[in-house]
Amino acid sequence: MRDFLSTKSAKILIATLAVIIVIAILGATGNPWVSSAFNFLTKGLSTVTATFTEGHKDYDELKAENEKLRQEAADLRTQLVDYDDIRAENARLWKYYKLKKTNPDFEILPASVIRRDTNEAFYSFTIDAGSSSGISVQDPVITENGVIGFINSVNATSSKVTTILSPDLQAGAVDKKTGESGVVSGSAILGEENKTAFSKIDANAKVKKGDVIVTSGIGGVYPADLILGEVTDIQYDDYDAAKYAVVKSYEDIKNVTNVVVLTDFKNKGEIKKGAD
């Protein structure tokens, strides 16, 4: 062992590890210059390749999408009689200008997905805008179909997004129909099906299939009334038998390519009365 440690190679290995550890500590204590430099250097290439594959869909996907669209068209026709459903569907069809028009306090910043995290089970991704565009940590990330997640970390030219399918995200939420409140958070099993859980609801809650779940605005991280998804099932926790609703996002979070970051909105950062 002593012989090995006295070799030139071992000394280079130890010196390299020492440098890595020092840089890692500096990065972890709020000075991620290596990460910023890395993202600055690779962003251009990632943007080009992401743009190249943005519209790429294979036959099965197109077929599935076609089926989905047909189904949605049929659903829309049947929903015309139900005001609440029409309202929810209208919300799905928000365009960004509409979003801004109806929420003049929203400061919105469109961004594109340039990387997907291959080694993470909750479909987190990187977008092509960072602090130089005004993005900060915890800014909500949305599309016209509802909330996608929040900004987990940010550097000058890119940002990492944690999705609503992740258990790391906990958003105060409300059932639009019944007004009952709870928390939306992800799990492995639900995340795979583009679903999340609306939990911490009352045992007698009247949440039911088809209800639209929106953000409560409590906590100051998300503005109120952003759509999180639609209830598809009511279930009970295996451990404590607590009731929760399974919520399916209107957006295909696994494959989303364009998003909008809300860099500012009214009451941002303000904790409303009744928040945890």
Q: Is residue 12 involved in binding another protein (CB under 8 A)?
A: yes
Residue 161 token pair: 């997004």
174-213 footprint of another protein as x/- string (CB under 8 A): -------------xxx--x---------------------
Which segment (20-28, 86-94, 173-181, 212-220) binds another protein by CB under 8 A? 20-28
Cα–Cα distance for residue pair 49/136, rounded to 1 Å: 25
In this structure, which amino acid lies at residue 137? V
Please report where in the chains the tokens 């016209």 appear, as a residue.
Answer: 144
3-state secondary structure of 74: helix
Alpha helices in 125-210 (DSSP H): 188-191
CA 144 to chain centre: 13
Cα–Cα distance for residue pair 58/87, rounded to 1 Å: 33
The secondary element (H helix, E strand) that includes residue 38 is helix 33-54
In this structure, which amino acid lies at residue 238? D
Which segment (42-50, 92-100, 198-206, 223-231) binds another protein by CB under 8 A? 42-50
Q: Is residue 11 involved in binding another protein (CB under 8 A)?
A: no
Q: Binding another protein by CB under 8 A: which of 18, 44, 49, 67?
A: 49
Q: Binding another protein by CB under 8 A: which of 40, 72, 108, 167?
A: 167
Compute the least distance from the CB of residue 185 to another protein, in Å. Answer: 10
Binding residues for another protein, rule: CB under 8 A, are 9, 12-13, 16-17, 20-21, 23-24, 27-28, 32, 34-35, 38-39, 42, 45-46, 49-50, 52-54, 56, 113-121, 124-126, 153, 155, 160, 167, 187-189, 192, 255, 257
